[in-house]
Amino acid sequence: MKLQTRGSLVGRVLGVLVFLGGVGLLGWVFYIAYGLFTAPASAALDLRFTGNPKTDPTLALIAARFGWLLFRVVLLMIMAFSGSLITQKGINLFLCSAHHGGTETPPDR
């Protein structure tokens, strides 16, 4: 019978925690993206059109708000990529500690 050393057990636990952190980050990204993409355009851009040319937003304001929306989408893509990398590192850490973890054989009695 082989016993696990403390290093392989810590590596496995740390791998699971890193994996769960990455999955949590991905879940948070999907939650934010769902809220962003289901919002009406006027709410996502924070624009109010009344039909009066004097009080309606100008083209410059519309372009600035649309640029901000695109910036938020790019940030969501970066966060999703980071979350997937963190999840992958957690899996790698778990598998490396499981396959290459030090084991010792107990002395014969």
**pLDDT value, residue 59:** 85
What's the half-sphere exposure (Cβ side, CA atoms, 13 Å) at 14?
12
Q: To which residue do tokens 């790019």 refer?
A: 74
The string of pLDDT tens digits covering residues 51-86 is 888 888 888 988 998 999 899 999 999 999 999 999
Range of the domain at 7: 3-104
**Cα dihedral across residues 31, 33, 35, 38: positive or negative:** negative
**pTM of the complete model:** 0.72
Position 93, amino acid? L
Residue type, 36: L
Residue 16 domain flag: yes
pLDDT for 1 beyond 70: no
Whether 88 is covered by a domain: the verdict is: yes
Query: What are 11-67's pLDDT values in tens digits?
Result: 899 999 999 999 999 999 999 999 988 988 778 888 877 888 888 888 898 899 899
Say if 36 falls within a structural domain.
Answer: yes
* pLDDT score for 17: 95
109 is a domain residue: no
- 83: in domain: yes
User: How many structural domains compose the chain?
Assistant: 1
> How far, rounded to the nearest angstrom, does the alpha carbon of residue 18 sit from its chain's CA centroid?
12
